[in-house]
Amino acid sequence: MLKEETGLMIQSKTSAVKTLRTLASAIESGDISNYNISQSGDGSITVKADSSDGSQRMIQTRTDMNGYSKLSTEHIQKQTPKARRKTVLQMVEAGLSQTDIAEKTMVSQKTISNDIAKLREKGKL
């Protein structure tokens, strides 16, 4: 596999090009309206994209290292407040931060803070 040396890391040209091509195609077709691409210190590329109607989010992370490749994809849908609080409870119990929970539930960190307060009032946390 061809590797391109950058100032910070070695990243697979093939996976970066494929990721960007897929994203560009979805933007062009109008399937997504909001997106973010980031690359971490280990060379992982994360693409976050929201559906054009704002009801769904996809977070995909690809890591390529010598002899190792990992792809993880999360599909997220907006939930009703009641359903979201059940999800928030599970995520808090799993140790996720409010910021991470907000990203994964497609609401603001303040909304998550309010959900956690309501869960505490009910004695669930």
26 with 61, same domain: the answer is yes
How do residues 48-88 score in pLDDT, each as one tens digit? 999 999 899 999 898 877 888 888 999 999 999 999 999 99
Task: Write out the two tokens for 83.
Answer: 């359903």
85 with 106, same domain: the answer is yes
CA distance linking residue 118 with residue 112, whole number of Å: 10
Identify the pLDDT of residue 5.
Answer: 39
45 with 100, same domain: the answer is no
Structural domain of residue 61, as residue ranges? 3-77
pTM: 0.71
65 with 101, same domain: the answer is no
Task: Write out the two tokens for 52.
Answer: 């054009």
- Determine what percent of the chain is predicted with pLDDT higher than 70: 87
40 with 101, same domain: the answer is no
Pick the closest to residue 87 from 70, 66, 106 (CA basis). Answer: 106
What phi, psi does 113 have (nearest 5°)?
-60, -45
CA distance linking residue 119 with residue 125, whole number of Å: 6
